Amino acid sequence: MKKIIVTTVLALLLALPVMAVTVSDFKADADITVTGLTLNSTTADLIIKSLSEAQSVTFNSIGTLTITNASSTSFKIYSADANVKAIKIASSSYTSCTANDTTGNAPAIIASTTPADDPTDYTVSLFAIPHALTYNHLCGAATCANGYLVSGSDADATCAACTVLTGAVTYNDTVCGAASCTTGYTLSGSGASAICVPPPAIIGGGTSGGTYNPPTTTTTPTTPTTPTTPTPTPTSTGAEQIEIIKSEAAIITGGDVNQIVEEVDKTRSTSAEATTASKYTNNLVSGIANVTGGVKTAITNFITYGTPTTLVLGAGERAGVVNSFKAALGKVPTNATDWSDVIKIANGRWPSQTSSAAETKATTNFKKIYVRNPNRSNAHDDAAVTVMAYGLRPANRNLNSEKAAIKSFKAIYGFAPTSATNWDAVRAISYSGAKR
């Protein structure tokens, strides 16, 4: 039996019987586990299969294994760690990359198939490129998971995320164009130019009372046409809704709780009002100076009971609408104009009051999401900025679009949406129709 010659800085675990020695030979009489090989930012184990032979095996301080004078009968290695995706064997003139088989049935091999005049030292490295499906012979990425594209070449090839396309569920494998779309969007174009076209969602804009109105999930979308102007004159139905909103605002401002509950066909509940005040109102008025009792009552009544056009929202969402108004304009609603804008936001309508600070912040978020400046003359871009600036709620929700938008948000920001600003961005991605 032969001696194992191993120079090691990290640990080399040997799971084999006692062996006799000669000065320079390595022979594995059983499988040998080598611990601590570098794998990205962590480490993993490597297994040298029984009967593998070499002059020596060296494991250095940077987690690389070196095999000297591997036997022509083959030196076999693999990893049982599922995180190891590929094993690279390299010398100064030879490189191979083998997909790791965790069972050891198809190990990486140093054998007589290597060039006869090749240097005798081979280094062994472990690879797991994020999102790579297969590897080239230099252990760079050869193909990537859906939504990712090979970036770079040879050993430096990695998997880069495709540009986020609004409404896209999957991407084609070669040039990152859209391959399939979420419900309500239509695939248009091919190759790198393939996109998911949103439905004709924008039906109004600007400060004249326009709204963005996404389709329900049961609507069959048609090929959309982009509006020719971002601030069209409202239709008669839109104008009528604005008048209804003004009427509701006047009732909320008036503070007559009996009239409010009558409008929404509810029964007054003082306990519900107390809960609302404690849970929502007190937080909303926090930090705002000189808030009167009447202002607090109006906020509590709106959140507790709503209005005919905001009944579709729950109490928490109505509180969120008031918070969106406060975040954008730096105040809580105190008069009929303010309440009209609050109810417009709840109905997906452009508010009459604007905030340059809120729109500047929204523009920054737009650039982050769409990697370009918004064109406010484009109805879709204008809708995206307005939704993020003022927190407009959609007139009709499309949950499939929102799910896709949440995935896009996570891909862009690296975390799930949590704050009101985050959710405004999700709504903009879902419904505005803006695209990169």
Total domains in the fold of the chain: 3
Q: Which residues contact 414 (CB under 8 A, 6 or more apart)?
A: none
- Res 14 pLDDT > 70: no
Same-domain check for residues 111 and 248: no
User: What is the average pLDDT value for the chain, to the nearest integer?
Assistant: 80
Same-domain check for residues 224 and 188: no
Determine, yes or no, domain membership for 140: no
Report the pLDDT value the prediction gives residue 208, as an integer from 0 to 100. Answer: 38
DSSP state, 350? P
Determine, yes or no, domain membership for 353: yes
Structure tokens at 350: 């452009």
- Res 354 pLDDT > 70: yes
Determine, yes or no, domain membership for 240: yes
Question: 34 lies in which domain range?
Answer: 6-128
Report the pLDDT value the prediction gives residue 262, as an integer from 0 to 100. Answer: 92
Give how far the C-alpha of residue 43 lies from the chain's centroid of Cα atoms, to the nearest Å: 28
Same-domain check for residues 282 and 347: yes
Same-domain check for residues 263 and 350: yes
Domain final position from 155, 176, 197: 197
Determine, yes or no, domain membership for 151: no
- Res 29 pLDDT > 70: yes
- Res 35 pLDDT > 50: yes
Same-domain check for residues 250 and 304: yes
Instruction: Specify burial of residue 324 (Cβ count, 10 A radius: 0-12, 13-18, 19+).
Output: buried
Report the pLDDT value the prediction gives residue 367, as an integer from 0 to 100. Answer: 95
Report the pLDDT value the prediction gives residue 308, as an integer from 0 to 100. Answer: 93
Report the pLDDT value the prediction gives residue 343, as an integer from 0 to 100. Answer: 95
Report the pLDDT value the prediction gives residue 94, as an integer from 0 to 100. Answer: 80
Report the pLDDT value the prediction gives residue 214, as an integer from 0 to 100. Answer: 41
- Res 15 pLDDT > 80: no
Report the pLDDT value the prediction gives residue 46, as an integer from 0 to 100. Answer: 92
Determine, yes or no, domain membership for 224: yes
Which of helix, strand or coil describes residue 423? Answer: helix
**CB-side neighbour CA atoms (13 Å) of 315:** 15
Determine, yes or no, domain membership for 208: yes
Determine, yes or no, domain membership for 159: no
- Res 200 pLDDT > 70: no
Domain final position from 197, 213, 245: 197
Q: Read off the pLDDT of each residue in 184-207 and give the average, rounded to a whole number.
A: 63
> Residue 351 in contact with residue 344, Cβ under 8 Å?
yes
- Res 379 pLDDT > 90: no
Report the pLDDT value the prediction gives residue 151, as an integer from 0 to 100. Answer: 87
Q: Which residues contact 93 (CB under 8 A, 6 or more apart)?
A: 115, 118, 119
Report the pLDDT value the prediction gives residue 369, as an integer from 0 to 100. Answer: 94
List the single range of 116-120, 157-161, 212-216, 236-240 with lowest mean pLDDT.
212-216
Determine, yes or no, domain membership for 73: yes
- Res 329 pLDDT > 50: yes
What is the C-alpha end-to-end distance of the chain, expressed in Å?
Answer: 67
Same-domain check for residues 293 and 177: no
Same-domain check for residues 183 and 210: no
> Residue 228 in contact with residue 261, Cβ under 8 Å?
no
Report the pLDDT value the prediction gives residue 326, as an integer from 0 to 100. Answer: 93
Domain final position from 73, 98, 128: 128
- Res 376 pLDDT > 80: yes
List the single range of 69-78, 112-121, 126-135, 268-277 with lowest mean pLDDT.
112-121
Same-domain check for residues 219 and 107: no
Same-domain check for residues 184 and 228: no
> Residue 47 in contact with residue 79, Cβ under 8 Å?
yes
Over the stretch 265-279, which tens digit does the pLDDT of each residue have?
999 999 999 999 999
- Res 250 pLDDT > 90: yes
List the single range of 203-212, 242-251, 359-368 with lowest mean pLDDT.
203-212
List the single range of 24-28, 159-163, 221-225 with lowest mean pLDDT.
221-225
pLDDT band, residue 212 (cuts 50/70/90): very low
Same-domain check for residues 90 and 217: no
Query: Rounded distance, CA 336 to CA 338, Å?
Result: 5
- Res 292 pLDDT > 90: yes
Same-domain check for residues 181 and 250: no
Same-domain check for residues 217 and 88: no
Over the stretch 17-27, which tens digit does the pLDDT of each residue have?
333 223 347 88
Q: Read off the pLDDT of each residue in 249-273 and give the average, rounded to a whole number.
A: 93
